[in-house]
């Protein structure tokens, strides 16, 4: 792989014969960032769970604030990395600066969680569970493609995110948001389909433990991979490629933010004491910088430690990336950047403490369990109404349910059962936490509509 191809600013399925680009002072990658910011799917992240579902505190993070912070961290790492890479590869200087690296990473970071369903990662599990052991099992006999069925039973928010930005946003436009090929490649953390029958060593690596696109979008990702010259693994028509090198930075920025910021959230909510929080963050901060905050209160102290820790991690990650650049370009890097830096063990300890005291906190777990009931119930209700409408033999109740679905999926119902199920998954997983709970309660008669306009 080479940077001239990896930094590809052409757009997915755009008509390259048209020269109607508007010169407005933005690079193509900055336009990617703006397109994502103004998309409805991104706006919905303001009411999607990061750690604490439906939080009562206005301090803790939602997916929106998390994505914005990851984007800032990713941009900083990208700029640091880009400065050295442009010097290492003089042929890049005529077309690229360090800022193009940061812009690609910032846009990809912004979209990295755009496909997450309500209730965080437990929402992904809830959707998968509906098809594994819920009423969705009945559809397995009707889907005669093992890969398609695997997409459903191992539902992946990353794949849903790729589907959103390439197909569902601007649905009448081929290519969806029509982001650049580089941004689309960088946001794809797991560049493979859900089921691979291969023995390549990379398939055993945690870097490829999940998948990044559904069967419906695999040809779209193939275009992205070819345009960016991503290394194809194990020929024989397998849809699996080596990561775009900048995807490692997107992953690292996400890891830094959720480990450090979730810890701060836990402290703010009283789940972790100040003393323990301080002890966990101090090893990430150069000793000479710790004396700055002696006179501040505990919240200010933690905020200061968090800021300095992130700044120093940014430098560590950038240095690690530059050390591994050659291996990444050759498709030989089989780890993640967090695990190869000196602070990696400290971050692992923070994660272990967060699992014990934050992620497994009773109210978090209770709401995650509720998410299974809500998402499973919504999927079951809308799936059966949608399929009855397709068959043409729909009950009065399901006709009413069918009318609650968006017109974009009711105007023309697909013949393929797999595509019909994906349309319903798109609808349910795209809901905000509050809307999912509200709609579940209403259709089950637990509460009555207020007459207020909802999403």
| Closest C-alpha to 426, from 409, 444, 441 | 409
Rounded distance, CA 171 to CA 169, Å?
5
Closest CA relative to residue 200, chosen from 164, 231, 169:
231
Which stretches does DSSP call E strand in 120-219?
none
217 and 340 both lie in a single domain: no
CA dist., res. 218 & res. 216, Å (int): 6
- Identify whether residues 254 and 208 lie together within a single domain: no
What pLDDT score does 449 carry?
62
Burial (CB count within 10 angstroms: exposed 0-12, middle 13-18, buried 19+), residue 403: exposed
Query: In terms of Cα–Cα distance, which of 222, 232, 226 is closest to 202?
Result: 232
Q: How many CA atoms lie within 13 A of 19 on its CB side?
A: 0
Structure tokens at 13: 């399925």
Question: Where does residue 119 fall: left (phi above 0), alpha (psi -120 to 50 degrees), or beta otherwise?
Answer: left
**CATH number for the domain harbouring residue 42:** 1.10.3210.10
Tell me the whole-structure pTM to 2 decimals. Answer: 0.93
| 181 domain residue, yes or no | yes
Say yes or no: 213 and 298 in one domain.
Answer: no
Q: What is the DSSP-derived secondary structure letter of residue 165?
A: I
Per-residue tens of pLDDT for the chain, all 455 residues: 999 999 999 999 987 765 556 778 899 999 999 999 999 999 999 988 776 655 556 667 889 999 999 999 999 999 999 999 999 999 999 999 999 999 999 999 999 999 999 988 889 999 999 999 999 999 999 998 999 999 999 999 999 999 999 999 998 899 999 999 999 999 999 999 998 776 666 677 877 889 999 999 999 999 999 999 999 987 677 899 999 999 999 999 999 999 999 999 899 888 999 999 999 999 999 866 666 656 678 888 999 999 999 999 999 999 999 999 999 999 999 899 999 999 999 999 999 999 888 887 776 777 778 888 999 999 999 999 999 999 998 999 999 999 999 999 999 999 999 999 999 999 999 999 999 999 999 998 887 666 554 55
Contacts of residue 432, defined as CB under 8 A and 6 or more positions apart, other chains included, come to: 44, 46, 47, 48, 118, 455
Do 203 and 278 lie in one domain? The reply is: no
DSSP helix/strand/coil, 316: helix
Q: What is the CA radius of gyration of the chain?
A: 23
- Give a yes or no: residue 67 inside a domain: yes
Q: What is the pLDDT of residue 190?
A: 95
d(CA 390, CA 164): 24
Structure token digits, residue 418? 């797999």
- The tally of CA atoms less than 13 A away on the side-chain side of residue 34 is 8
Write the CA distances from 76 to 69, 71, 247, 337, integer angstroms: 11, 9, 14, 15
Q: Which two tokens stand for residue 262?
A: 């979730």
CB atoms near residue 232 (< 10 Å): 17
Residues 111 and 64 placed together within one structural domain of the fold: yes
Pair (42, 100) in one structural domain = yes
pLDDT attached to residue 232: 92
Domain that holds residue 36: 3-14+25-117+146-245
Please tell me the predicted confidence (pLDDT) of residue 94: 93
Q: Domain check: are 272 and 190 in the same one?
A: no
| Separation of alpha carbons 411 and 99, rounded Å | 44
Three-state DSSP class for residue 271: coil
Same-domain status, 236 and 352 = no
Question: What is the distance between the alpha carbons of residues 102 and 257, in angstroms, rounded to a whole number?
Answer: 17
Neighbour tally for 112: CB within 10 Å? 27
Last residue of a domain, one of 360, 380, 408: 360
Same domain, 274 and 158: no
Residue 56's pLDDT is 57
| Contact in structure between 118 and 49 (CB atoms under 8 Å) | yes
Residues 254 and 234 in one domain: no
Same domain, 86 and 188: yes
Contact present, 162 and 183 (Cβ < 8 Å): no
82 burial level (CB within 10 Å; 0-12, 13-18, 19+): buried
Last residue of a domain, one of 320, 344, 360: 360
For residue 313, tell me if it sits in a domain: yes
DSSP 13: T
85 and 184 within one domain: yes
Q: Which CATH number fits the domain that encloses residue 301?
A: 1.10.3410.10
């Amino acid at each position: 792989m080479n940077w001239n191809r990896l930094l590809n600013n052409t757009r997915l399925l755009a008509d390259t014969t048209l020269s109607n680009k508007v010169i407005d002072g933005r690079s193509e990658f900055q336009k990617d960032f703006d397109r994502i910011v103004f998309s409805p799917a991104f706006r919905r992240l303001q009411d999607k769970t990061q750690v604490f579902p439906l939080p009562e505190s206005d301090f803790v993070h939602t997916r929106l604030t998390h994505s914005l912070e990851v984007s800032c961290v990713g941009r900083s790492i990208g700029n640091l990395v880009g400065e050295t890479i442009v010097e290492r590869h003089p042929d890049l200087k005529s077309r690229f600066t360090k800022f193009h690296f940061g812009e690609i990473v910032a846009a990809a970071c912004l979209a990295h969680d755009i496909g997450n369903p309500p209730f965080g990662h437990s929402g992904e599990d809830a959707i998968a569970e509906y098809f594994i052991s819920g009423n969705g099992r009945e559809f397995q006999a009707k889907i005669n493609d093992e890969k398609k069925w695997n997409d459903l039973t191992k539902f992946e928010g990353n794949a849903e995110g790729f589907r959103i930005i390439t197909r569902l946003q601007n649905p009448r436009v081929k290519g969806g948001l029509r982001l650049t090929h580089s941004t689309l490649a960088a946001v794809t953390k797991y560049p493979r389909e859900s089921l691979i029958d291969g023995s390549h060593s990379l398939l055993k690596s945690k870097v490829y433990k999940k998948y990044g696109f559904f069967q419906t979008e695999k040809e779209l990702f193939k275009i992205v991979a070819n345009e960016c010259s991503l290394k194809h693994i194990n020929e024989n028509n397998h849809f699996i490629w080596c990561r775009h090198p900048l995807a490692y930075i997107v992953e690292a920025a996400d890891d830094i933010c959720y480990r450090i910021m979730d810890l701060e959230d836990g402290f703010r909510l009283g789940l972790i004491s100040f003393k323990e929080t301080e002890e966990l963050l101090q090893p990430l901060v150069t000793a000479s910088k710790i004396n700055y905050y002696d006179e501040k209160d505990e919240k200010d102290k933690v905020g200061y430690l968090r800021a300095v820790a992130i700044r120093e991690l940014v430098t560590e990650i950038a240095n690690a990336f530059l050390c591994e650049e050659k291996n990444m370009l050759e498709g030989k890097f089989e780890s993640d950047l967090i695990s190869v830096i000196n602070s990696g063990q400290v971050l692992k300890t923070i994660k272990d403490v967060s699992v014990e005291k934050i992620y497994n906190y009773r109210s978090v777990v209770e709401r995650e369990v509720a998410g299974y009931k809500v998402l499973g119930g919504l999927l079951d209700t809308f799936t059966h109404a949608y399929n009855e409408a397709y068959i043409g033999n729909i009950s009065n109740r399901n006709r009413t349910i069918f009318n609650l679905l968006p017109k974009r999926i009711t105007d023309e119902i697909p013949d393929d059962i797999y595509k019909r199920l994906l349309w319903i998954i798109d609808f349910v997983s795209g809901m905000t936490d509050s809307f999912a709970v509200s709609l579940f309660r209403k259709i089950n008669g637990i509460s009555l509509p207020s007459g207020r306009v909802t999403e």
